[in-house]
Structure 1
Amino acid sequence: MTNPAEELLDVVDSQDHVIGTATRAEVYREGLTHRCVFILVRDPQGRIFTHRRTDTKLFSPGAYDCFVGGVVGTGESYADAAVREAEEELGVSGVRPVPLFKFLFQDGSKLSWWCDTYEACWDGPVSPQAEEVAWHDWLTEDELARRLADGEWEFVSDGREAYRRYLEYRSA
């Protein structure tokens, strides 16, 4: 497996136009805007796949997230990245993410990325990628809302923002 820090990413401007390429390490170090995908995965009962990231992740190690996903590789489409990331992180094949909305995330420091957000339903077993997922479960919306609100679990900032926007999108 390639070192994630050396993965080549497209660098984009404030309108999501490609302006160059850089390694993931350079993107994070220099605060270059890049592309990511987020996939909210539900089971047939409507529960949401929620997980804790491994402690070796470059961004938000050990934090919880209610989205699977990751960076979009150089020359890769958002749609292709959504399928790849969902299948890699869940350890499955045949996921069909449905596009929802896109937004520019800024973490309050120097980091920013375009987030293309999807939703998918998965009705089979999962075998999450051990390098990505340290723990997982399927949570109801109420359980997830409690976890997001009570502060007991530290959630990734971009996932928290994406879920807030997801709830707004769904209620519109």
Structure 2
Amino acid sequence: MADMSTPPEKSPRSAESTPADEILDIVDENDEVVGQYPRGEAYARGLRHRCVFIQAKDAQGRIFVHRRTPTKLVFPSLYDMFVGGVVGAGESYDGAALREAEEELGVTGLPRPEPLFKFLYDNGAGQSWWSAVYEVRCDLPVHPQVEEVAWHAFLPEDEVERRLGEGQWEWVPDGLAAYERLKAFRSPDTP
């Protein structure tokens, strides 16, 4: 088992730190905190942590879709139908959802995202995180964070489905897992 002792204390976010320096809570299979590590080390060691996925829709019900920048630590240059990211050490899922949505969309004053469900993402190859899925309506003009978003558009859900099926865009695997669960969650046929 990996050593879960806490490394020397660092600020979760500081002006001179990089995303890899951000301190994350490391959690077990029950989403209980068992330690803390910088994000870069958590990724390198395959330590389970927490993430939020927020599906943002505009007033017409179109989904915010974007391509991640090539500098992202995980899944660079892939497409995603969620905004979101890691939950910082000591941060709540709800707090992280609002923070991440506002940061990535480049807005302030967004309504609090509505929590829908949580699931454990695990690709079997060392990438595992508890994933809280939210939705939010964004009627504000967006100005996506250039460090996070290389391209963006609000797309109708049928176009998102078409693009998923045609295979021309490579999508983030955890976002695909969240999207499939979200469709099942919303399906009236799901028990």
Please give the TM-score of this superposition, normalised by the length of structure 2: 0.88
User: 1-side partners of 2:57 and 2:40: how far apart?
Assistant: 32
Structure 2's unaligned 5+ residue stretches are 1-14
Q: 1:166 aligns with which of 171, 178, 182?
A: 182
User: 2-side partners of 1:110 and 1:20: how far apart?
Assistant: 17
Structure 1 equivalent of residue 81 of structure 2: 66
Query: How many residues are treated as equivalent by the alignment?
Result: 172
The alignment-based identity, stated in percent, is 60
SS in structure 1 opposite 2:51? strand
Q: 2:39 aligns with which of 19, 24, 34?
A: 24
User: 2-side partners of 1:94 and 1:117: how far apart?
Assistant: 20
Q: Is 2:133 the counterpart of 1:117?
A: yes
Q: Is 2:116 the counterpart of 1:97?
A: no
Q: Is 2:156 the counterpart of 1:156?
A: no
Instruction: Name the amino acid aligned to 2:61.
Output: G
Instruction: Name the amino acid aligned to 1:108.
Output: G
Structure number with greater Rg is: 2
The 1:150/1:108 distance shift into structure 2, 3 A limit, reads farther
Structure 2 equivalent of residue 135 of structure 1: 151
Q: CA deviation at 1:108?
A: 2.8
User: 1-side partners of 2:167 and 2:152: how far apart?
Assistant: 18
User: 1-side partners of 2:126 and 2:139: how far apart?
Assistant: 39
Q: CA deviation at 1:7?
A: 0.8
User: 1-side partners of 2:128 and 2:166: how far apart?
Assistant: 26
Q: 1:38 aligns with which of 53, 69, 80?
A: 53
Structure 1's unaligned 5+ residue stretches are none
Q: CA deviation at 1:84?
A: 0.2
Please give the TM-score of this superposition, normalised by the length of structure 1: 0.98
Structure 2 equivalent of residue 51 of structure 1: 66
User: 2-side partners of 1:87 and 1:135: how far apart?
Assistant: 17
Query: Runs in 1 of length 4+ with deviation above 4 angstroms?
Result: none
If asked which structure has higher relative contact order (CA below 8 Å, sep 6+), I would say: 1
1:108-150 deviations in whole A, cap 9, x for unaligned?
Answer: 3111000000000011210000000000001111100011111
User: 2-side partners of 1:124 and 1:51: how far apart?
Assistant: 17
Q: CA deviation at 1:14?
A: 0.1
User: 2-side partners of 1:82 and 1:28: how far apart?
Assistant: 20
User: 2-side partners of 1:58 and 1:98: how far apart?
Assistant: 27
